[in-house]
Structure formats: C-alpha cells, structure tokens
Chains A and B, each alone.
Chain A
Amino acid sequence: MGRRIGTQTVEIESKPRIIGTYNIVGPKEGQGPLKEYFDKILEDDLNGTESFEKAETSLLYTAISESIKKAKLKEVDINYLLAGDLLNQLSSSCFAARDLNIPFIGLYGACSTMAESLSVGSMIMEGGLANYVVAATSSHFSAAERQFRLPLEMGSQRAPTAQWTVTGAGAMVLGKKGNFPYVTHVTTGKVKDYGIIDVNNMGVAMAPAAVDTIKQHFMDTGRKPSDYDIIATGDLGIIGREFTEKLLLEYKYDMKGHYMDCGEKIFEAERQGTNAGGSGCGCSAVVATGYLLKNMLKGKFKRILLVSTGALLSPTSCLQGETIPGIAHAVSIEFGGE
C-alpha cells in the first residue's frame, strides 16, 4: 500500500505502469520541433467536423480509443476514464466519454489536467480499486480562443508574453503489469496566486505554483534536481520557465541541465509566431506522451518529473478584476532505472 511522505506527496508502491499512450496534434504542432514524437498529425484542425469544439471532442476520443488499442485492451476492460479539458462544463471530455463504454470521472485542473488525471489514476491503482485506468486530456487553439479571447479573424496584436494554445490530445493507459514506465510518486499542488492580472501573461501567473510544487516534491522525497534526467513543467512558456528557474534558486535548487518546459519545447517561437510558447491541457499531454515517454522507452531518460501547470481563471473572473490563481501537480515516472 502506498504511503504519505512529507506534507503533499504520496509514494506509489505498486508502480502502476503506463502500458499504452497515444497523442494526436493539429497541423501547427506537427510543424514544430517535436513532430517526430506525435502518433498522428492532423492536416485540418477541424478534423472533418463542423466546429472547433466538435473537433476537440474527436481528438480526445481518438487519443483515448487508440491508447486503449495500443495497450491491447477493449473499452470494457477499463475501470475508470479520468479526463478533463478547458472548455465550459468539460464539454470535450464529456462528449468524448459519451461515445465510450467506460465509467467516467471528469476533472478540471485547467492545463494541469494531464498530471492531475495521472495522479488520481495512480492513486486509484494503488488502492487496488482498478485493473486499468485511462488518464487523458485535450485542448484546441481555436476552441480556447473562442472561449477565452477574441474572435479568430479579429485583427489584433498578441502580447510578447502571450502563449499559443496547443491543439492536441493525449491519453495514457495505466495497468499493473509489463515492462513499461511506471509512476513512483505523486505530489499534489496547492493553488498559488501572486497577483497577476494580465491574461496574456499566464506562464508567469502559473510559475509560483510550479515553484511551490517542485520545491515541496524535493522536500517530501529528499530528492534534488540532479536526481531527475528531466523535470518538465507543463506550459509556463519561455518567460514562466525563466521565472521558475530563478525562483527555485532562492530555495537553493539549481535546475540547470535538468529542466525543460513543454510549452517552450513544442513550438519554435520565432519561426511559428507563438511568442512565449505553447499552452493548454494538450501541451503537457502530447509532450509527455510523445517526447518524454517515448524517450524513456528508448532509454534516454530513466527518471522524469512531469509538472503540469494550470491557470485557474475564467472569462468572468478576469472581467471582474480577479487575479489569476495557478496550480501545479507533479508525477514522478521511472523506467529501467534499477
């Protein structure tokens, strides 16, 4: 049975394995530097549907059903589907789950959903309550823009700190057996809000949460940055990543050489016009199921820490002058280390 260590971390002793993954991305992500790590790249970001919301649902559905196929399982074998997205009332997840024959729990953690669903899934597995769990999430640039920002064809300038929502979905199937990467620790983050109001500066708004969760993970486990081959935050972007590095130095944790940000890595900011980098639930989902886990299977990484970060704002809260709260969850994954 797992046990609590420190104040926010759970050690997962049963080592739930990530036995199947699948990711699917839009055309812009497919032109980015990580293109070789994606299972499917769409040519049309509508994916043959009539709206961006429906497209996102189809992305998530594809990611979930294909990940189950890759794990050589059927829908009925899965005990829980844990999924979430950015749209109101978790529409993409609910509508994808409508077509799946799997008990469903919807999670909202904004862009932190990949680590959140993987955390909860691992804990369910650790409790012996399921044989197989699917953790999944998605986001879609155009659907998110519609909900949170201005119309697509509106001629306006993007701030240098603005980020580009990733169009993509990623899913992981957790199982008990097999030679696959496995989850060892879960650190659940606290909501941190250092008073950022600018909705075009979300990476910076989320950085305090990332700093707090990473620091707490190190304190709880007694580990340090060099114990990890790579620590990957979800979507802080270029500026948020710099902030996180500098703030962790205050706690005397030097991240140099062991740290990347999925949002910074997924696009080539200059060439693709994405300013501070990628964001969205799909960002850490497709980078984790792509670049991170595929490199683990190849043996390049033995131990990673996935820290998905979320900005917990709503279009209403920012119009009412509220600041932007952030959250970050960390999941430690190992493979072939022993």
Chain B
Amino acid sequence: MKVEEKTIRKKFEKLNSDNIPKPNLLLHCFNSFWVGGLICVIGQFISDIFSKMGIPKDELGTYVSIVMVFLGAVLTGIGVYDKLGDFAGAGSVVPITGFANSIVSPAMEFKKEGFVFGVAAKMFTIAGPVLVYGIGSSVIVGILYYFLRW
C-alpha cells in the first residue's frame, strides 16, 4: 500500500479536466436565442401599439422600457422569471426584463432584514456593478467623443 498522495492528486487533476460534465452549449444557445427574440418581439409589439396611440417617436423607447421593466418585475414577483431564466439563460438575462429581475429578486429576498438595510441596501447587489460600469464606460465614451468628434 505504498501509494503517495501525489499520485492521487495527479489522478484527481486528470479526472477533473476530463470528467466534469459540460452544459449543452448548442441547446442553451438555441433556447436563449428564441426566448430572447420573443421578448424583443413583445417589446416591438408594445412599441407599435404606442405608436398607433400617437406617442411621438423619440419617446417610444421610454414607454416600452417602462412596460417591459414592469413585466419583468411582475414575472419575478409571481415566481415565473427564475424558471424562465433557468430555461433561457442569457435570453432572459440580457433584455431589460432581466435587469428588472436582477433588482426585484434581491429586493424581495432581503425584505426580512427590513426596508432600509434589507430591501434598499441589497436591491442593487446584482444590478449595481452593471450600473457602475455601464454608466462609467458611457462617461468615458462621452469624453472621448467630445474631444475626437470623428
């Protein structure tokens, strides 16, 4: 029984590089594609309705965003969006409904810790970094644009 731990560790590393199941990328991409597309089609549909109602074209985006964020929040609240996310992955994370989900889900979760240190403090744990780097990079691009004006 003279087996050194080094050999075991080597075998472990080999197993770990060969035997870990990988997610089914093709299937995930497909589901992500059509769910994400469907969410965008719904957004377009809402946009067309608002357009018919006579909302000016440059305000349409705001109206659609408000409705889509509302839908994302409601679906999170009634416990549907997490199931959708499990199925569609990035397809439901990337659209603005996913952004709503990332804010509403921690807000719901941490309600037990109170409205100040729970809901308000934890609300942006996931969306916070997106906002920080999103806004941050837009400022940088803005500055570059101002000076370069290509």
A residues sitting closer than 8 Å to B (CB atoms) are 50-51, 53, 146, 150-161, 194-196, 201, 204, 207-208, 211-212, 219, 239, 242-243, 246-247, 250-252
**Residues B86 and A156 in contact, CB atoms below 8 Å apart:** yes
**Residues B19 and A239 in contact, CB atoms below 8 Å apart:** yes
Main secondary structure of the interface of B (DSSP, over half): helix
Is B126 in contact with chain A by the CB < 8 A criterion? yes
Which chain B residues numbered 33 to 91 have a C-beta less than 8 Å away from chain A?
Answer: 76-77, 79, 81-86, 88-89
Find B23's partner among A159, A208, A252 (CB 8 Å cutoff).
A159
**Residues A153 and B82 in contact, CB atoms below 8 Å apart:** yes
- Number of B residues whose C-beta is below 8 Å from A? 41
Which chain B residues numbered 67 to 126 have a C-beta less than 8 Å away from chain A?
Answer: 76-77, 79, 81-86, 88-89, 92-93, 98, 101-102, 104-106, 108-110, 112, 126
Which chain B residues numbered 1 to 49 have a C-beta less than 8 Å away from chain A?
Answer: 1, 3, 5, 7-9, 11-13, 15-16, 19-23, 28
**Given A160-B21, A252-B1: A151 in contact with B12 (beta carbons within 8 A):** no
**Residues A151 and B86 in contact, CB atoms below 8 Å apart:** no
Task: Tell me, rounded to whole Å, the shortest Cβ–Cβ distance linking B16 to chain A.
Answer: 6
Query: In the complex, what residues of B have CB within 8 A of residue A250's CB?
Result: 3, 7-8, 11
**Given A161-B21, A204-B20, A250-B8: A155 in contact with B104 (beta carbons within 8 A):** no
Alpha-carbon distance A252/B1, docked complex (angstroms): 8
Query: In the complex, what residues of B have CB within 8 A of residue A239's CB?
Result: 19-21
A-B contact pairs, 23 of them (CB 8 A): A53-B112, A151-B105, A151-B110, A153-B109, A154-B101, A155-B84, A155-B105, A156-B89, A156-B93, A160-B23, A161-B20, A194-B9, A194-B13, A196-B16, A207-B12, A208-B8, A239-B19, A239-B21, A242-B19, A246-B15, A250-B3, A250-B8, A251-B1
